[in-house]
Amino acid sequence: AQSVSQHNHHVILSEAASLELGCNYSYGGTVNLFWYVQYPGQHLQLLLKYFSGDPLVKGIKGFEAEFIKSKFSFNLRKPSVQWSDTAEYFCAVNRASGNTPLVFGKGTRLSVIA
Amino acid sequence: KAGVTQTPRYLIKTRGQQVTLSCSPISGHRSVSWYQQTPGQGLQFLFEYFSETQRNKGNFPGRFSGRQFSNSRSEMNVSTLELGDSALYLCASSLGASGEGRQYFGPGTRLTVT
C-alpha cells in the first residue's frame, strides 16, 4: 500500500526565514503529487500539484516543490516565510493511473513568529 | 460559485448511536470523497462516489457507509458509534475522479462521541 511520510511534525520559523518541508512516498510507479494547506479556521486548499513535466512546480503564495523521482520525494519550499504562512501543510500522492484515491501524510504544522 | 457545504458543522453523539452527515459538492462536480481527520492519524480516506457509484473505499469497518444522490449530494453514515470515531469528517468534491485533479474541501463536520 502507498504511504506518505512527512518527517517534521511541527516547524517553528521566524519571518523571512526559508522553509523546506519534507515529503516522501512509498510507491514505485508513476504518481501524482500534491501539497494542500489548511490555514487556521479555513478549509483545506490546494497549494500546488505535479502530474508530469518539469519537476519543479510553482504554486500559490510563492511556494514551490521539487519532485525528485530517485528519492521518492516532493519537498515544499518557500524562500522567505511570512506570518500569514502559519498553517498545517499536507502532502498527498496517488497513482497516476487507475483512478486511485489520494493518500495524505499526517501533516506538518508551521508556526511563523514575528 | 458556492463552495462545498457540509451539514451539520458540529455534532455530539453517544456511544452506540448512529449519525448521518451530509455534503453538497460544488455545482457541476460529480465526484465526492470523504475523509476522517484526527490529530494522530491525519487525513484518512473513507470512500469516493462518482455518479452515484462508490468508486473507491478506504480501510474502515463496515459501520462506515455512504451514498450519493442523482444531484451529486452525498451522505455518510456511521452506525454503532465508538469513542474513537470522534474526528473531523471532511468532504471534498472534484469535477472528475478524485485522483485526476484538484479536490475542493468543505469545512468539515466535527463529530464528538461521548
In the numeric block, which cell numbers belong to residue A2?
A: 502507498
Q: Which of B:60-89 have CB within 8 Å of A? A: none
At A108, is the pLDDT very low, low, confident or very high (cuts 50, 70, 90)?
A: very high
Q: Looking at the predicted structure, is the pLDDT value of residue A31 above 80?
A: yes
Most confident of B27-41, B50-64, B75-89: B75-89
- The answer to whether A43 contacts B105, with C-beta atoms less than 8 Å apart, is yes
* Average pLDDT taken over every residue of chain B: 93
- The answer to whether B90 contacts A44, with C-beta atoms less than 8 Å apart, is yes
For residue B109, give the chain A residue with the closest CA: A43
> Phi/psi at B9 (nearest 5 deg)?
-85, -30
CA atoms within a 13 Å half-sphere pointing along the CA-CB vector of B101: 9
Can you give the pLDDT at residue B65? 97
Task: Give per-residue pLDDT as tens, B90-103.
Answer: 999 988 776 666 88
Higher-pLDDT residue of B112 and A101 is: B112
For residue B3, give the chain A residue with the closest CA: A43
For residue B54, give the chain A residue with the closest CA: A101
Distance CA A24, CA B53 (A): 32
Q: Looking at the predicted structure, is the pLDDT value of residue A2 above 90?
A: no
- The answer to whether B48 contacts A100, with C-beta atoms less than 8 Å apart, is no
Distance CA A75, CA B90 (A): 25
Cβ–Cβ contact B42 with A under 8 A: yes
In the numeric block, which cell numbers belong to residue B43?
A: 487525513
- Note whether A63 and A78 are within 8 A (CB): yes
Can you give the pLDDT at residue B92? 95
List, in order, residues 6 or more apart from A60 with CB less than 8 Å away: A47, A48
DSSP state of B17: -
Q: Looking at the predicted structure, is the pLDDT value of residue A56 above 70?
A: yes
- Report the greatest alpha carbon distance in chain B: 38
